Amino acid sequence: MPKISIILLLLILTVSSLAGCSTLNGHSEHEFSYKNIPVDKETARTGEGATILFRGTPLPLSGIEVKAGETLRAVPLAKGDLSLVNIHESQGKVRIINIVPSLDTKVCEQQTHYLSEKNQGLDQQVQLITISVDTPFAQERFAKEAGIANVEFLSDFRNGEFGSSHGLLLEGPHLLARAVMVVDANNVIRYLQVTPDLGHMPDMDRAFQVARSILPNS
């Protein structure tokens, strides 16, 4: 079996075995059970030539490299009603953009709950966004079952344009790398972390610190 097929199979099996975890456990925002998932403090590079690990196997990233200090790229993403919104047009406020491969996995689920529940009041001043390649319908189901109402979910399911425009696309399995970015009111990316290991959490607390530091009158 070709190497990429083996990788794709492993990813499918992982997603399948963990799918619907919020449904099966009946979590709400008040009873989500956090697991001891490793947190990466370092960041991987984005774009062509970069790799991240999945179960010890390097997976190549594709797309245009992006770094902190550069401008958020203008790309369309799908909302829950399938209408398109340009991520660039959300300027005017500080944003924490939570990027996950699939919401129906334990790490992605915990990462998104952490964004929603552990931001220490930032959601009153900062826009919280989660982007994945899950369909808008799957995102809406997840948010409802998880009891998450303070995070906007946007989908890159159409053609992975957000992923490829920011060097975060795992092209073979058509998934996004795991990452978190903080974007200021002028669409400048002030913080970007891509987890070197797909199975690890990003340092969300660090993203919260950066977001708080760039708020007006901070």
DSSP letters, the chain, are --HHHHHHHHHHHHHHHHTTHHHHHT--TTT-------B--S----STT-EEEETTEEEE-BS----TTSBPP--EEE-TTS-EEEGGGGTTS-EEEEE-S-TTSHHHHHHHHHHHHSSTTGGGTSEEEEEESS-HHHHHHHHHHHT--SSEEEE-TTT-HHHHHTT-EETTTTEEPPEEEEE-TTSBEEEEEE-SBTTSB--HHHHHHHHHHTSTT-
Establish whether 21 is a catalytic residue. Answer: no
Catalytic residue among 108, 179, 204, 211: 108
Catalytic residues: 108
